[in-house]
Amino acid sequence: MRHSRLANLPERIAAGAFILNSGLTKLQADKESAGSIHGMASGTYPVVEQVPPEGFTKGLGVAECAIGGALLFPLIGDGIAGFSLSAFATGLLGLYLKTPGLRQEDGIRPSQQGTAFAKDVWLLGIGLSLMGHSVGARRQSRKLDKAKGGSSKAAKAAKVAAGAKAAKGGAKAAKGGVKAAEKVSKGIGAAKLAKSATSALVPSRD
């Protein structure tokens, strides 16, 4: 499992603390607050209408606590934390884009009522940034692994080449030794022959 990068901790802490607090607040929401949250969500996502308001609000609170905790826990990789945050932020921006009255006439800029929802775009930005950093870190790690593998192969090749060169030098030295031995042997033989010839030419004193 890949840990979070130290440089990404500030944005993870900021986003994680914000979302965790929001989740804890929803877990303590009363019936009126739960009904308000459920009504806004069901207006954008009709499938939510089938879920009771209090159950939906508590479920949303649990999800936010899980996402906030993942961002605050550094042993969870940037990729996983970033993906979770991006998915959550996309849902919030869906509320902003589909709920009437949250945007001005141009359909993009937030109204006074929609500012609280439009600001959630920074959560999406942080999530995408974390995912991008995770992908970049994996590519860098692969490049380093390949470089290490290439260096190891080069070192092995150099050792093999050095061994071959040493073996070649040893063989050459052995060949030279054999030739020297042959020359010495020939010299000894010639000396013996000369001695025999001398003995034959010089008459014995007896």
Largest CA distance in the chain: 147
In this predicted structure, the answer to whether residue 186 has a pLDDT above a threshold of 70 is no
Average pLDDT of the residues in 11-20? 94
- Residue 187's alpha-carbon distances to 74, 141, 173, 183, 197, in angstroms, are 84, 68, 21, 6, 15
Of residues 30, 116, 17, 117, the one with CA closest to residue 70: 17
Whole-angstrom Cα distance, residue 70 to residue 84? 9
Of residues 130, 98, 174, the one with CA closest to residue 5: 130
pLDDT at 170: 62
Q: What is the pTM of this model?
A: 0.63
Say if CB 71 and CB 77 are below 8 A apart: no
pLDDT at 1: 43
Say if CB 92 and CB 127 are below 8 A apart: no
- Residue 205's alpha-carbon distances to 2, 192, 196, 199, in angstroms, are 104, 21, 16, 12
Average pLDDT of the residues in 59-84? 93
In this predicted structure, the answer to whether residue 51 has a pLDDT above a threshold of 80 is yes
Average pLDDT of the residues in 84-95? 90
Interval 93-141: pLDDT, tens? 888 888 888 888 887 888 888 888 787 889 999 999 999 988 876 776 6
In this predicted structure, the answer to whether residue 69 has a pLDDT above a threshold of 90 is yes
In the chain, the percentage of residues whose pLDDT exceeds 90 is: 34
Average pLDDT of the residues in 189-205? 53
Coil, strand or helix: which one is 103? strand
Say if CB 88 and CB 103 are below 8 A apart: no
pLDDT at 104: 86
Average pLDDT of the residues in 78-102? 89
Whole-angstrom Cα distance, residue 10 to residue 194? 99
Q: Which two tokens stand for residue 129?
A: 């940034």
